[in-house]
Structure 1
Amino acid sequence: MNESELAGKIDHTVLGPETTPEDVERVMDEAADYGMNACIPPCYVTEASEHASDATLATVVGFPHGQHATNAKHDEAVGAWDEGADELDMVINVGRLKAGEHDAVRDDIELVVAAVPIPVKVIIETALLTDEEKRDACRLAKEADAAFVKTSTGFADGGATVEDVELMAEYLPVKASGGIGDYEKAKAMLDAGAERIGASSGVKIVEDFRG
């Protein structure tokens, strides 16, 4: 894997509650300069798409807890696509999954996937799930025609692990996210089967690779 291939697998991310327009511009510039993708809050999609149209732009839906009403997730997804998003990362309803309401979880994902002609990554929040629940979440995302499953929002205790990536990769392409702060950790996730890395440390990951 060369630098360009690595950078293309990184979603350089800024999603904290204090994210400013200047933070988003910085991340978009860094993504464009290094050949990475960017993942930003939905309120900034219009500005971000205009600021750096060359970078693939992802935003989030139902973030960070996944407990938005399904119709709200649908409308959020459509709005983000209309404003220039190239990809969406949506959070499942973890509570319904844990309650065994699998049809509701699948329908929640399916409505978002069907609403937009762009890839939808489904965040299952692995730190909150048993292995059986992780498998259920991945199966439901696959049945709903999601493009990826993603480990974490970064807002629950714990992030991506090699074991979770290996499990999830049995179902769909995996975006490993949460706690990936350097190239060594990113490489471990890629070696485990991840197709994409979500990290606020995208620049450091690429610089580590160069070093």
Structure 2
Amino acid sequence: MNRQELAGRIDHTVLGPETTPADVDRVVAEATEHGMNACIPPCYVAATAEQAPPTLTLATVIGFPHGQDSTRIKREAAASGWKAGADELDVVINVGRLKAGETDAVTEEIEAIVASVPVPVKVIIEAGLLTDDEKRRACQAAVDADAAMVKTSTGFADVEPSGATVADVELMSDYLPVKASGGIGDYETAMAMLDAGAERIGASAGVEVLAGAPQ
């Protein structure tokens, strides 16, 4: 895959707790220069959307990173993010409810969020915290709720590995298009995820990933 083809499948990301406006400006500028998408914190979406070129796909996160906000708060945050200018939303599921066997509640929450916005919703299942059976239930919940994609992880879970794995991408791609995210720092790792079935890559190292791709 050449550099241009790969760029459009990368969400160049900055979501750390110390993210400043200058960090967001840098990531957006890099994404724009290289033809990537950008994923930024909700608090910076409105200002960024006003200045970003219309060709830039801008994503933000909901319930990040733990997914434990109430459904009402997540739904309102999703609507707020869309109205502020986000083109896509990455929503963290309530992992605790899933692990407790409350799959219907997880499905209903995703469904409520999807229904609240006219833009694609990617469902972050935080795969590193789940068994394979739980991953399947999370992915099926996303399918049943009419989500657009499933995403492997936030990259912030206190578990090893905390990010994307080939095995998780293979499992999840049986359900919906997959965004592989977390720990993807070079071209070879990104391609391993795409070869496993991922459609999108989430990476704070988007520029470094592209640097390894053929022209």
SS at match of 1:38: strand
Please list, as runs of the form range in 1=range in 2, the aligned pairs for 1:195-210 lying within 5 A after superposition: 195-210=199-214
Assess if the C-alpha contact under 8 Å between 1:142 and 1:171 holds in 2: yes
Shift of 1:2: 2.7
Quick one: distance in 1 between partners of 2:136 and 2:18? 33
| Alignment: residue pair count | 211
Partner of 1:17: 17
Q: Which residue of 1 aligns with 2:30?
A: 30
Distance 1:26 1:10 in 2: 16
* In 2, Cα distance between equivalents of 1:210 and 1:34: 14
CA RMSD of aligned residues (A): 0.9
Instruction: Determine if contact 2:124/2:151 at 8 Å carries over to the other structure.
Output: yes
Matched residue, 1:185: 189
TM-score by length of 2: 0.96
Q: Which residue pairs with 2:80 in the alignment? A: 79
2:2 is matched with: 2
TM-score by length of 1: 0.98
Could you list the structure 1 runs, at least 4 aligned residues long, displaced by more than 2 angstroms after superposition.
none
* d(CA) in 2 for partners of 1:73, 1:96: 15
| % same residue | 69
Whole-angstrom CA distance in 1 between matches of 2:92 and 2:67: 5
* Aligned-residue offset at 1:52: 1.5
Aligned AA for 2:148? A
| Structure 1: 5+ residue stretches without partners | none
* 1:47-126 pair list within 5 angstroms: 47-53=47-53, 54-126=55-127
